Amino acid sequence: MAGRSVGLPGVGVAAAVASAVTKNKTPMQKAADDLLSSREFLQAARDVAQGNNQKAAEQVAKSKAFTKFARELGMPQEMDYRVQWLLNTMQSSRQFGDEGEQ
C-alpha cells in the first residue's frame, strides 16, 4: 500500500487545481467570490428563503464585500440604487428558476 505513505489520494491534485483556479483572477472575479462567501450574503440567502427580500437586500448592500463588488461593476454609490439592483437580481433569478420548472 504505497499510496498510504504519501497521504490521501487526490489531495495533491485538488490543492494544485485550487491553486490554479485562484490565480489570475480579475478584480471583479475576486470581488464576486468574496461577496458570495461573505457572512452577509449567506445570511441574506436565509432571509430570502424566509421571504425577507428587502431585509436581505439592505444587509448585503451595506456589506464591505458588496461595496467592493459594486465598485468593480461601476455601480452608483447610492444605497437605494444598490438595494434595488439586489432586489431586481433576486426577482430575475426567481423568474429564471420558475421558467426552468415548466
> Is residue 7 one of the residues assigned to a domain?
no
> Is residue 11 one of the residues assigned to a domain?
no
Distance CA 25, CA 5 (A): 35
> Is residue 13 one of the residues assigned to a domain?
no
pLDDT of the residue at 19: 57
pLDDT of the residue at 91: 84
CB 58 within 8 A of CB 83: yes
> Is residue 82 one of the residues assigned to a domain?
yes
pLDDT of the residue at 52: 92
> Is residue 69 one of the residues assigned to a domain?
yes
pLDDT of the residue at 1: 47
Distance CA 26, CA 8 (A): 32
> Is residue 18 one of the residues assigned to a domain?
no
Q: Report how many domains make up the chain.
A: 1
pLDDT of the residue at 47: 92
pLDDT of the residue at 98: 59
> Is residue 12 one of the residues assigned to a domain?
no
Q: Which domain holds residue 82?
A: 27-101
List the chain residues with pLDDT less than 50: 1-9
